[in-house]
Amino acid sequence: MAWAKDCDLEILIEPGDEHELLTYDYKHKVVGLHSSGFTLIPSVLFNEDKVADFARYLDIKKDEKVFAQSLDNDNHIVYKISERISNAAEIFDVQNAVFENKGWINAIANTTLPAQNIYINIDSTRADILYFSDGKIRFYNRFEFNNPDELAYYAVMVARELKLEPKNLTLVLSGGISITDKDAARLADFFNGVEENETSILTLPAEVKSHQILALSALSLCVSSEVL
């Protein structure tokens, strides 16, 4: 596994050490597609013939493509990605592509799920917020934030929407955040507590905390995808 920040998609095309590393003939390849918008559809209502209808909720632009696949046992996800990302992913075969946080969601679903936990994954200025009840997804959405106050606002808003009291909830964090930074400190002002997600998918070097790359490492749980 290679992990780097702000990689240029050109390394998938231009010769070089990074290109060879990423395009080696591995036994399994999984591509997490960076989505610019998505909607969840209950599996009992999903019909592949209606993907275009579902996609209307996403305000598709001319330079975007739509993908749809099973997210878990109860939900399908319809999402859009930029054509540039789609073209870059073609080198790996689109059948190896999944929604970027499918692994993260399912990794959490496979653990014990206290009703008092809300899960947040931070990717730069994006916060994916996830809540389970009775083992099922009850809330999942993404928010853009620019400072700790905005992040705290969205987290509290989600709790209120779920009719939950923030002071009774624990936030379980992963991605580009740690409990010692200012984002986590601000969240702690409104919630019962914050903690780093200790879910471990792979054996990692000691200097890499599992919560930092949980969304990435959890892609290893996704070995195939039905793309429509």
pLDDT in tens, 21-51: 777 788 888 889 989 999 999 999 999 999 9
Domains 9-104+216-221 and 112-198 share a fold: yes
At 112-133, the pLDDT tens digits run 888 899 999 999 999 999 999 9
Structure tokens at 106: 């399912």
* Alpha-carbon dihedral sign for residues 194, 200, 204, 206: positive
Asked whether residue 4 carries a pLDDT value surpassing 80, the answer given is no
pLDDT of residue 16: 79
Domain 112-198, architecture per CATH: 2-Layer Sandwich (3.30)
- Fold of the CATH domain 9-104+216-221: Nucleotidyltransferase; domain 5 (3.30.420)
CA distance linking residue 78 with residue 70, whole number of Å: 9
Higher pLDDT, 164 or 14: 164
pTM higher than the cut 0.85: yes
For residues 84-94, give the mean pLDDT: 80
Residue 70 reports pLDDT greater than 90: yes
Beta bridge partners of 137: 132
The ranges assigned to domains in the chain are 9-104+216-221, 112-198
